[in-house]
A and B are shown apart, each in its own frame.
Chain A
Amino acid sequence: MRALFEDSINRILADHVTAALLQKAEAGEWQETLFNLLDDGGFARASATEISGGVGAPWPDLFPVVFACGRHALPLPLPESLAACWLLEHAGIPVPKGRLTLGRASAGTRLEKRAGEWRLHGSLDAVPWGGAADFVVTSVAHDGGPHLVLAKRSQAVVHRNQNIAREARDGLEMSGATVQAAVPYFKDATNDPVQNFGALVRSAQIAGAMDRMAELCVQYANDRVQFGKPIGKFQAIQQQLAVLASESASVSTAAEYAFAMAGQEQPGFAIACAKARASEAAGKAAAIAHAVHGAIGFTYEHSLHYLTRRLWSWRSEFGTHAFWSEQLGRQVCERGGEGLWPLIIEQQGRWEEGGWRG
């Protein structure tokens, strides 16, 4: 399944995510045609089972799909939709027809059950394409644990907003609005599931964007001639490209490791490692890419910024480097120094005949 996904998603995105499309998306235009193409191709809900219109693809098989979304700077909530479908099914909530996204509830947001109906009091901040979605999946602490919530966007007041990459990040205000479902989420109950799976998909998007950025840098360094030779022949540039490539490779490995673990009972450690690594590397990588490209890379006309502005946005979404490192650090300190190495070993993937399975 994985190789098939990888080929077809990259082909579709290479054909359709052009500079012209990105500019329209940045101007606030929802890319309906491309979304429908991806949805019809089975990508938007590939993580859901067949009953819900998906193919039940496990996370390791979805890694190349989300990675490709990062590589091509896709201006649509496809990764969010994959995470939303998966979370709904794992909470036992049927996946509704319509466009899905994922959003974090702001502090103080609460659930209330009245006359057999669930109501949400509060707001969801910076919801990816919240205004264009039909449904949003969020999680809210209730009765001592996280509850997964499916809400209809039409129940919310939408406040338009954008991140640095001019991707829609809308506020959804829900003052006592009825929600479709709210179910206790037991899996890895110590963590916020929306934060976790949002961080998971962002780590792979960051990996994809860094991978593409490294390619652009290598190509530019080979093409651009100064002092009579391609700038890639200068050691100063080579050393910077090597750092970029190492950071990119480590983020890819970290994200793939998290995808391999995502289906396990306790995926939190691997996801924390992946998002901490990706968020830390993103800024460093973007700085190198701009240094190598010089002034042309600082223009709107050149396409480098579609990637760098996403890195500057995505590194903070669903938890910064500081947030995830703190989570990890607390977990480790709780166990003491002698517990660190056994923890890393416990959290490695498990062997299955024929290869890696988280």
Chain B
Amino acid sequence: MTLSRFPLCTLPPEAEALREPVRAFLRQELGGRPHTKAGKSWMGYDAEFSRKLGAKGWIGVTWPKRHGGGEMSALSRYVIVEELLAAGAPVIAHWIADRQSGPLILRYGTEAQKEFFLPAICRGEMAFCIGMSESDSGSDLASIRTRARRAGGAWRINGAKIWTSNAHRCDYMITLVRTSDSPEKHQGLSQFLIDLKAPGITVRPIRDLTGDNSFNEVVFQDVLVSDDSLVGQEGNGWAQVVAELALERSGPERFLSCHALVKELIDRLGPKPDARSAIVVGGIVSKLAVYRQMSLSIAARLNKGENPATEAAYVKDLGTTLEQDIPEMVHGLMESTPSLDGEDYEQLLAYITQFAPSFSLRGGTREILRGIIARGLGVR
């Protein structure tokens, strides 16, 4: 009670009212899809699906109506998001923009930026990626070297970003660059909105170990961007990025990445499992229910305008640890042979087994999160 705050929260009726319509839409759009596809969860790409979701008014729901949003609360958004993820919907074509790029533009952007980007995001027609890591700057994000220098009324960008999820299919990147040299590495950083079709940009796909192309290297060679592309204040990039990460770390995507496998496990065990199997399933369920309460508590605090960045680290660490344990528990419980060309379940297990290491890397590694928690405790 004294060390962290996760006040209980539940969903107001107007948020809860969205659940059935969203479920009905998902049944109609995704019914009969193979489990392997649901297993990709929020890395699944389907531009058509995102456009249909946009047409329903379910992207950018918290944003002002004049920018295409629905002026609903963050708790209404929470219902939509958790239903999409529990169903394993392919969301990556709009997900990043809805979760963090849009909110960043809304908070720090100019009126012109809001008018240009937000309505297109809400329609599900504009995909974003996040340019943070570089080859020599992973966890030590503030050490980035990609540089923007003033060139007349514009900026000239040189450098390279790496591990950029989905960049090969995105329209824009919000990228963190160094705009001035400072002895303090957290200063002199700024964020830019960059059109990925601009001259001088090369997107090089990087194959991940599953064989997919989930992330990329993005190289900037004398890329010219106008002053209008700066998001927020020049030099305020670090504070903006930290606020953005609170949005990225506490959502239901941090404990539902393996949901397709959990459902399949339950179906394979059948209605009368042996004691050992029931214990494993119950152990997963108790954590899912509790971590959801913690995540919801953060959503309520974000909704009130607070910035529970430390609590978000708790949820991500707990949630991703569970997600990584799930395929291991499945292997420990039943005869399973993951295979790439076998039946649907074997492919699902193969995919999640391979993809699981990324759960505690993307969005801040486990060690970094625990460092944030330790700082909150007062030992750092």
Contact = CB atoms under 8 A, between A and B. Distances in A.
B111 to A, nearest CB: 35
A340 B262 contact: yes
Interface stretch (B62-70, B112-120, B200-208, B265-273): B265-273
Nearest to B373: A242
In the complex, which range does the number of interface residues on chain A fall in? Answer: 35 or more
Contacts of A332: 266, 281-282, 285
Given A334-B271, A351-B12, A242 B286 contact: no
B311 to A, nearest CB: 8
Contact of A242 (B7, B16, B289, B370): B370
Nearest to B1: A211
A277 B292 CA distance: 13
Interface string A279-290: 010000000000
B317 A242 contact: yes
A56 B285 CA distance: 32
A333 B8 contact: no
Interface string B269-292: 111110101111111011111111
B10 A239 contact: no
A316 to B, nearest CB: 15
Given A211-B1, A252-B1, A243 B263 contact: no
Interface stretch (A77-85, A98-106, A183-191, A321-329): A321-329
A280 B325 CA distance: 15
Contacts of A297: none
Interface in B136-195: none
Contacts of B16: 351
Contacts of A238: 370-371, 374, 379-380
B281 A245 contact: no
Nearest to B259: A341
A235 interface: yes
B2 interface: yes
Contacts of B7: 356
Given A232-B379, A330-B278, A257 B293 contact: yes
Given A241-B377, A333-B273, A67 B1 contact: yes
B264 interface: yes
A329 B3 contact: no
B1 A329 contact: no
B314 interface: yes
A254 interface: yes
Given A329-B279, A330-B273, A272 B286 contact: yes
B78 to A, nearest CB: 11
B11 A336 contact: no
B9 A245 contact: no
Contacts of A333: 266, 269-273, 277-278, 281
A238 B366 CA distance: 12
B314 to A, nearest CB: 5
B12 A276 contact: no
A308 to B, nearest CB: 17
A329 B278 contact: yes
* Consensus secondary structure, chain B interface: helix
B6 A252 contact: yes
B283 A337 contact: no
Given A253-B8, A337-B263, A239 B286 contact: no
Nearest to B371: A238
A221 B378 CA distance: 10
Looking at B1, B7, B277, B278, the one whose CB has the most chain A CB atoms below 10 A away is B1
Interface stretch (A21-29, A154-162, A193-201, A342-350): A342-350
Interface string A236-261: 01110111011011101110110010
Contacts of B265: 337
B318 interface: yes
Given A211-B2, A238-B379, A351-B13, A250 B290 contact: yes
B328 interface: no
Contact of A344 (B283, B292, B318, B369): B292
Looking at B10, B86, B267, B369, the one whose CB has the most chain A CB atoms below 10 A away is B10
A215 interface: yes
Interface in A62-119: 64, 67
A248 B8 CA distance: 15
A235 B281 contact: no
A257 B286 contact: no
Interface of B: 1-4, 6-13, 16, 19, 86, 259, 262-267, 269-273, 275, 277-283, 285-294, 296-297, 311, 314, 317-318, 367, 369-371, 373-374, 376-380
27 contacts: A64-B1, A67-B1, A211-B2, A218-B378, A218-B379, A232-B380, A245-B373, A246-B314, A249-B6, A250-B287, A250-B294, A260-B8, A272-B282, A280-B283, A325-B278, A326-B279, A328-B278, A329-B277, A329-B279, A329-B283, A330-B273, A333-B281, A337-B262, A340-B262, A345-B19, A351-B10, A351-B12
Interface of A: 64, 67, 208, 211, 214-215, 218, 221-222, 230, 232-233, 235, 237-239, 241-243, 245-246, 248-250, 252-254, 256-257, 260, 269-270, 272-274, 276-277, 280, 321-322, 324-334, 336-338, 340-341, 344-345, 347-351, 356-357
